[in-house]
Structure 1
Amino acid sequence: MNKKETHCLLCAQLLQSEPSWKTLLTKQFPPCICKKCASRFEHAPSPTALYQYNDAMKDYLHQYKFLQDVALAKVFRQELQDQFNHEKSPIIPIPMHPLKQKERTFSHMEELLKAAKIPYIQLLEKTTAETQSSKNREERLQTASLFQLLPSVTVAYKEYVLFDDIQTTGTTLRHATEILLQAGAKNVRSFTLING
């Protein structure tokens, strides 16, 4: 059973939520942010992303990733559960470089999936600690390969789904896709939390 949040994880206001038959029968996660905070996030028109990048999302990413507030992995757990619950293809979160993960203390992509109780596998490792956010569009497009397969990994001839937090130029997802296809994947789709 999920621990019920009593206060919004983003603004700390008391949550005013009554259990409904829908949440009880469908085993939905209880809300962890208030309706006001939820309304600040803008849904993406794209079928390959949940949200658009805006000021609310910028604040969320800063708090979650850079201030290491791992509890915020829960914020989008219901939306991710709804998106991936019936996914048949293995889901691969975009990995962090080991040095970055040690610095941040957790893998923000894996924590999002864990909070939503979505199974995933890892076939890739990042080859550079340099972040794409530190580069302009041209530099991102000219970046050398960011990933390699993990040692002793075999990529089966089937479809995979890459999951990343944000897509701006698509460089990260393109590089990961190329590595998987070269290693024998049949097809690679991608899905992001945010469309940048």
Structure 2
Amino acid sequence: MARCLFCVEEMKVVLTWRSLLLKKEAMTICERCEGKLKKLAGETCSICSRELDKNYRIEDLCLDCVRWEKDKKWSGYLSINISLFHYNEFLKDMIAKYKYRGDYALAEAFVPFLKDKLKDMNFDLVTFIPLSNERLMERGFNQAQALTDLLGLNTVELLTRLHTEKQSKKSREERISLPQVFQVTKPDLLKQKSILIVDDIYTTGSTLRHAAKALKTAGATEVSSITLAR
């Protein structure tokens, strides 16, 4: 009997003619755990996917993205980020187990949700946010690259990353004011191409915008991203 990848409880799988005919993807998490994943819904920011609040928006943008787009140094680099879930305590714990404790199998649970979003996105090349060599040695794997592997995406390593202090230890202001930490490795592949970046979490948007700026400056026509959490 299959076990939930999150809580490890046994899952009862009920087979029907409909599920067999549609070849529904095998369940990897139980209904209780799936219920704790809070999908982003309703009206969302047209750039970062944040759920829009009437007191924290201007037209179709959240105030964070308004600030980014008003800054000439950052305006127009990231076209859109699609995020799947709220970064609540349950998802925070799951991503921590996956990202920091090396529970690689947990990533499989997110694959069906990512595939559902990806089918509506247009792009020429897929890449992922790289780790510095030091961080890669520390963790043993790149969590964003692992997601692309499980999705079966053909990726191109377009960026390298300089080693810096962990982003989680920095304030929003510190993240935004960081110098460029990415370098483009294959600029010849970027000309007139639309690039999709895969990462795990969108927090301030600093990491993805740094990456998008590097890619567009090197010749990409458009850069979008997809993340698990916002």
Please identify, of 136-145 and 155-164, the stretch whose mean Cα deviation from structure 2 is larger: 155-164
Indicate the residue corresponding to 2:224 in structure 1. 189
Per-residue CA deviation, residues 60-105 of structure 1 (Å, 9 max, x unaligned), is 0111011100011101110111122464412221111122112211
1:80 aligns with 2:114: yes
CA distance, structure 2, for counterparts of residue 61 and residue 49 of structure 1: 14
Question: Given residue 12 of structure 1, which amino acid in structure 2 is its aligned partner?
Answer: V
1:39 aligned residue (23, 35, 52): 35
1:69 aligns with 2:103: yes
1:169 aligns with 2:204: yes
Question: Given residue 60 of structure 1, which amino acid in structure 2 is its aligned partner?
Answer: M
Per-residue CA deviation, residues 93-124 of structure 1 (Å, 9 max, x unaligned), is 11111221122111111111222223322201
How do 1:87-166 residues align onto structure 2 when only pairs under 5 Å count?
A: 87-89=121-123, 90-150=125-185, 154-166=189-201
CA distance, structure 1, for counterparts of residue 16 and residue 195 of structure 2: 35
Indicate the residue corresponding to 2:11 in structure 1. 15
* Ranges in structure 2 where 5+ consecutive residues have no aligned partner: 50-81
Please give the secondary structure, in 1, of the residue aligned with 2:189: coil
1:29 aligns with 2:64: no
Per-residue CA deviation, residues 150-187 of structure 1 (Å, 9 max, x unaligned), is 26753221211122111111100110010011100011
Q: Sort the Cα spacing of 1:146 and 1:95 in 2 relative to 1 into closer, same or farther, 3 A.
A: same
Please give the secondary structure, in 1, of the residue aligned with 2:85: strand
**What TM-score comes out, normalization by structure 1 length?**
0.88
- Aligned positions, number: 191
CA distance, structure 2, for counterparts of residue 13 and residue 182 of structure 1: 48
Please give the secondary structure, in 2, of the residue aligned with 1:144: coil
CA distance, structure 2, for counterparts of residue 189 and residue 137 of structure 1: 21
Question: Given residue 118 of structure 2, which amino acid in structure 1 is its aligned partner?
Answer: F
Give the CA RMSD over aligned residues. Answer: 1.9
**What TM-score comes out, normalization by structure 2 length?**
0.76
8 Å CA contact 1:92, 1:163 repeated in 2: yes
8 Å CA contact 1:77, 1:112 repeated in 2: yes
Cα deviation for residue 39 of structure 1 reads 0.5
Question: Given residue 35 of structure 1, which amino acid in structure 2 is its aligned partner?
Answer: E
Please identify, of 21-30 and 143-152, the stretch whose mean Cα deviation from structure 2 is larger: 21-30
Please give the secondary structure, in 2, of the residue aligned with 1:179: helix
Q: Percent identity?
A: 32
Question: Given residue 229 of structure 2, which amino acid in structure 1 is its aligned partner?
Answer: I
CA distance, structure 1, for counterparts of residue 19 and residue 228 of structure 2: 23
Question: Given residue 132 of structure 1, which amino acid in structure 2 is its aligned partner?
Answer: Q
Q: Sort the Cα spacing of 1:153 and 1:72 in 2 relative to 1 into closer, same or farther, 3 A.
A: farther
8 Å CA contact 1:123, 1:153 repeated in 2: no
Please give the secondary structure, in 2, of the residue aligned with 1:63: helix
* Ranges in structure 1 where 5+ consecutive residues have no aligned partner: none
After the TM superposition, which parts of structure 1 deviate over 3 Å for at least 4 consecutive aligned residues? 19-28, 85-88, 151-154
Please give the secondary structure, in 2, of the residue aligned with 1:76: helix
8 Å CA contact 2:187, 2:218 repeated in 1: no
